[in-house]
Chains A and B, each alone.
Chain A
Amino acid sequence: EPEVTQTPSHQVTQMGQEVILRCVPISNHLYFYWYRQILGQKVEFLVSFYNNEISEKSEIFDDQFSVERPDGSNFTLKIRSTKLEDSAMYFCASSESRGNGYTFGSGTRLTVV
């Protein structure tokens, strides 16, 4: 069964440093998403991406965040200057069509120290 692959599985970074979280969506999917989950809390939407541009972003997704699809297979989330409160699980997802058939990756656990 096709999978969404995320790397690394765990990233530890110092406050103020830049991090890039990487995702390889399912190959025939056209819609890409990032979500995050703070420990013990619900999954929160960050951003959706289609046709090489952001289609929607949440209030969490401020100027410190950016997304990119640098080639035909990768989808990245960059946090420019990490804060302690950015510590969370970050999930990438992709779908074949809008709002349908989501598949989530296993996540990257980001720990900011």
Chain B
Amino acid sequence: GESVGLHLPTLSVQEGDNSIINCAYSNSASDYFIWYKQESGKGPQFIIDIRSNMDKRQGQRVTVLLNKTVKHLSLQIAATQPGDSAVYFCAENMDSNTGKLIFGQGTTLQVKP
């Protein structure tokens, strides 16, 4: 059905460690995926996106990996900082005609100093 899910509700890491946040999506027809960061009381903030014709994309300290075979998406954050503490959502675009995004439940990332 239409769902994007996250494997872990909370991830706790030490400052300086790398973080990996996972996401499973259900629709093999989805062709665009976005990771968002949401801090308390704020709107979703774009982190990185990837299209289905790619399997990896890198940004500044972040990498998104897409495995279409198992319909899995991950966000890797290098050298995690206290400012990275937030809720992270993956979202998929299932219908590029309308731009509708389907969001996952969210993973809370806690960075311990």
A contact set with B: CB distance below 8 Å? 4, 31, 33, 35, 41-45, 48, 50, 55-56, 91, 95, 98-100, 102-107
Contact indicator B104/A42 (Cβ below 8 Å): yes
Task: Please count the residue pairs between chain A and chain B whose beta carbons lie under 8 angstroms apart in the complex.
Answer: 69
B contact set with A: CB distance below 8 Å? 32, 34, 36, 41-46, 49, 89, 91, 93, 95-106
Contact indicator B43/A99 (Cβ below 8 Å): no
CA distance in complex: A31, B44 (Å): 17
Contact indicator B44/A99 (Cβ below 8 Å): no
Q: Which residues of A contact B100 (CB under 8 A)?
A: 33, 45, 48, 56, 99
| Chain A interface mostly | strand
In the complex formed, the residue of A with least CB distance to B34 is A102
Would you give 23 A-B contacts (Cβ < 8 Å), ordered by A? A31-B99, A42-B89, A42-B103, A43-B101, A43-B103, A48-B98, A50-B98, A56-B95, A91-B43, A95-B99, A98-B96, A98-B97, A98-B98, A99-B93, A99-B95, A99-B100, A102-B34, A102-B101, A103-B46, A104-B36, A105-B43, A106-B41, A106-B42
CA distance in complex: A98, B46 (Å): 16
Nearest CB of chain A from residue B72's CB, rounded to whole Å: 18
In the complex formed, the residue of B with least CB distance to A31 is B99
CA distance in complex: A34, B49 (Å): 20
Contact indicator A91/B44 (Cβ below 8 Å): yes
Contact indicator A55/B98 (Cβ below 8 Å): yes
CA distance in complex: A33, B103 (Å): 14
Q: Which residues of B contact A104 (CB under 8 A)?
A: 36, 43-46
Whether A56 touches B103, Cβ cut-off 8 Å, given contacts A43-B89, A102-B34, is no
Whether A48 touches B99, Cβ cut-off 8 Å, given contacts A42-B105, A100-B32, is yes
